[in-house]
Amino acid sequence: MSNEMTKRLVWSGLLAATGALASIVAARLAAVLYRRIYGEDPPE
């Protein structure tokens, strides 16, 4: 039982970490595209 719980916790941690990383990458990519399109910093 403990082994199964550990696997679930590890999976949840990996899922959260990859989701956060993907969100950061997406925000940076969107900012780069906005700067190229409009030539100014994106709104806050």
SS3 string, 1-44, reads CHHHHHHHHHHHHHHHHHHHHHHHHHHHHHHHHHHHHHCCCCCC
8 A C-beta contact, residue 35 and residue 43:
no
User: What's the pLDDT score for residue 1?
Assistant: 64
User: What's the pLDDT score for residue 5?
Assistant: 94
User: What's the pLDDT score for residue 44?
Assistant: 85
pLDDT, tens digit (0-9, with 9 covering 90-100), for 1-44: 679 999 999 999 999 999 999 999 999 999 999 999 999 999 98
Phi-psi domain of 18 (left: phi exceeds 0; alpha: psi -120 through 50; beta: other): alpha
- The whole-angstrom separation of Cα 37 and Cα 29 is 12
Whole-model pTM? 0.74
